[in-house]
Amino acid sequence: ELQYPDRINCGVVLIDDAVREGHGDRVALYAESGTWTYAQLLERSNRIANVLVNDLGVVPGNRVLLRGPNNPTLVACWLAVMKAGAIAVTTMPLLRAHELSIIAERAQIDHALCDSRFAQELQQAAQLGGRLRNIVQFGDGHLEKIMNGQASTFDNVDTARDDVCLLAFTSGTTGTPKATMHFHRDVLAMREIVAGHLLETSPEDIYVGSPPLGFTFGLGALLVFPLGRRAASVLVEQPSGENLLAAVQRFRATALFTSPTAYRSLIPLLSKFDIASLKRCISAGEALPKATSDAWFAATGLRLIDGIGATELIHIFISAKGEQIHPGTTGKPLPGYQACILDPDGLPLPPGKIGRLAVKGPTGCRYLDDPRQRDYVYEGWNVTGDLYSQDEDGYFHFEARADDMIISAGYNIAGPEVECALLEHPAVKECAVIGVPDEARGQLVKAFVVLHDGHEASAELVQTLQQFVKQTIAPYKYPRAIEFRSSLPKTATGKLQRHVLRATI
Ligand code: 3UK
């Protein structure tokens, strides 16, 4: 059980305490633009916190929107919001004016700190209505100038363990985005559970990855875990495959965080980089096919750590480490969490049966003013949108998101299982499998496929892929229709949007 004092501020724990404990001269952040020590990060966070309070008039509980690619100033802004007792509303750089205006409206944003290169969309969002008044830009010298006029020390705002400090929006894989509220203690819980227990983060660690700080996967991996354990974080503004591997090589990163799709695309690039410093590679956000895990292991000698996380639960809650990793399964609940599989009536199912994954633990879903809270939290259990089964050894197996289960001629077919089979074919770079309406069968399995360079779409290839799937999994699951695309629709966090494909057919 995690115990915190009544009054605690996660920003103070992450940065002030690190300097107080003597880490001031050690590197906290590495970036293209330079290196920041813990002492520099504290000083800059203090100056920005003074800007928030003295220049903008931020009072505890105000919401401050943060927007920009992953870089050190964005980290300092996030810490400043915490230290000022305000609420950070982290956003994905890819979001456009319309989506930002929904967030600004839903979260009742008063102020924003925004990378100047991403300010235009936010200014347009402010014009679409709402109460967003102050957008302070950084990176172009504006925030930098006013912060230098402020003191380098800050009188941290005394916050309660259960004060909201973060509003994180779900990525909207389906439907309109929901705002999830998290307390100071939730941020500390993910540090204890994921950085402490799962990753055993030590001060010698150097973390790098692709998820934006506006996604709780990235906020944990690249801010809370490294700072919280007095390690270092490498911030990559444009995390292409090449840029990520170059950052691993240049900064001798010890852990890499990205998605299953990205791990697949990194494999062919590995020979060009020295990644011998890596000790751990973490995959989250979407299901990790066993074939991807095996291919990564064959190429690097490192076993991917798969973990399922959700914005509602702030970070990863089922995973496994070291010898406990069973490729093809997500793992077991992390300490403090319980998980079970529920039938449609909300009753627990025995091993081997597929049902909704439900979890309970130190973090949990609190939607901001949203009736969908009732659907997600049932008698203290967080009922995810995922279908899972549990094996006799207690390991949890991902089957599909509930929306992605296809029912064809009375058979249940998990779209992702067909995707995994297709991905094992050397011509297939990416794919998405959905059910399309069909008079005879109810639904028909259809695959959208993106080919690797050097492969041409053709009727023969359709047949080849169909045969390949029939030989890989139960033949009735094969895609009766295959359409080739140059790309697939994805959310700002990089997840496949199968519902967008369903809407286009
Ligand atoms: C899916 C997975 C299978 C699953 C997230 C790590 O993804 C994160 O949060 P989101 O709110 O989405 C949650 C949903 O994504 N998913 C995530 N990880 C896995 N499915 N295997 C996995 N390993 O449908 C889940 O309900 O965007 C991930 C840390 C923090 C996060 N917010």
In a shared domain, residues 90 and 15: yes
C-beta neighbour count of 352 within 10 angstroms: 11
Residue 68 Cβ contacting ligand 1 at under 6 Å: no
481: β partners? 446
Distance 39 CA to ligand 1 centre (A): 34
493 C-beta closer than 6 A to ligand 1: yes
Q: How far is CA 410 from CA 178, 413, 476, 482, in A?
A: 34, 9, 11, 21
The CA radius of gyration of the chain, in Å to the nearest whole number, is 23
**What is the predicted pLDDT for the residue at 154?**
98
Question: Does one domain contain both 325 and 429?
Answer: no
Q: Is the CB of 384 under 6 A from ligand 1?
A: yes
Distance 503 CA to ligand 1 centre (A): 23
Please list the ranges in the chain whose pLDDT falls under 50.
none
Contacts of 127 (CB under 8 A, 6+ apart): none
Beta-carbon neighbour count of residue 217 at 10 Å?
Answer: 27
Pocket flag, ligand 1, residue 284 (CB < 6 Å): yes
Residue 206 is assigned to a structural domain of this protein: yes
Q: How many domains does the chain have?
A: 2
Alpha carbon distance 364, 77 (integer Å): 25
- Within 8 A by CB and 6+ apart from 349, the residues are 340, 341, 342, 343, 355
Q: Does the C-beta of 286 come closer than 6 Å to ligand 1?
A: yes
Are both 322 and 367 inside the same structural domain?
yes
Render pLDDT for 191-208 as a digit per residue (tens, 0 to 9): 999 999 999 999 999 999
Q: Would you state the structure tokens that stand for residue 482, as one six-digit string?
A: 């295959």
410's CB contacts (< 8 A; 6+ apart) are 442
Owner of token pair 């994954």: 357
Residue 59 is assigned to a structural domain of this protein = yes
Same domain, 31 and 58: yes
370 and 431 housed in the same domain: no
SS3 track for 422-441:
HHCCCCEEEEEEEEEEECCC
Q: What is the CATH number of the domain that holds 64?
A: 3.40.50.12780
Q: Is residue 358 located within the same domain as residue 424? A: no
In this structure, the answer to whether residues 75 and 182 fall within a common structural domain is yes
Strand, helix or coil at 405? strand
ipTM: 0.99
CB of 177 within 6 A of ligand 1: the answer is no
Are 211 and 311 in a shared domain? Answer: yes
Q: What is the pLDDT of residue 175?
A: 62
Per DSSP, the three-state class of 460 is helix
Residue pair 122/96 in contact (Cβ under 8 Å)? The answer is no
Domain span holding position 88: 10-390
CA distance 189 to 183: 10
Query: Looking up tokens 């509003």, which residue turns up?
Result: 167
Q: Is residue 398 lining ligand 1, measured as CB closer than 6 Å?
A: yes
Ligand 1 lined by 171 (C-beta under 6 Å): yes
Assess if residue 423 is contained within a domain. yes
Ligand 1 atom nearest 401 alpha carbon: 24
The whole-number pLDDT of residue 174 equals: 57
Domain end call among 331, 362, 390: 390
- Ligand 1 atom 22, closest CA: 308
Q: What residue owns the CA closest to ligand 1's atom 15?
A: 285
Same domain, 281 and 418: no
Nearest-atom index, ligand 1, CA of 307: 23
DSSP state for residue 7 in the 8-state scheme: B
416-473 confidence digits (pLDDT tens): 999 999 999 999 999 999 999 998 889 999 999 999 999 999 999 999 999 999 999 9
d(CA 41, CA 35): 10
Tell which of 390, 425, 449 closes a domain.
390
Q: Is the CB of 308 under 6 A from ligand 1?
A: yes
CA–CA gap between residue 379 and residue 376 (Å, rounded): 10
173, 286, 288, 306: which to mutate for ligand 1, most atoms within 8 A of CB? 286
Instruction: Report pLDDT for 259.
Output: 96
CA distance 245 to 266: 8
Nearest to 445 by CA among 477, 470, 400, 417: 477
Residue 306 Cα to ligand 1 middle (Å): 10
Atom of ligand 1 at shortest range from CA of 260: 23
Counting ligand 1 atoms within 8 A of each CB, the residue from 311, 316, 498 with the most, and so the one to mutate, is: 311
CA of 463 to the centre of ligand 1 (A): 33
- Distance of alpha carbon 156 from alpha carbon 50, whole angstroms: 10
Q: Is 259 in the pocket of ligand 1 (CB under 6 A)?
A: no
First CA to last CA distance, the chain? 49
Helix (H) or strand (E) run with residue 10 in it: helix 10-11
Rounded CA separation 72/504 (Å): 40
- How far does residue 118's CA lie from ligand 1's centre (Å)? 26
- Closest atom of ligand 1 relative to the 310 alpha carbon: 9
Query: What pLDDT was estimated at residue 409?
Result: 85
CATH label of the domain that carries residue 491 = 3.30.300.30
In a domain, 403, yes or no: no
Structure tokens at 2: 């995690």
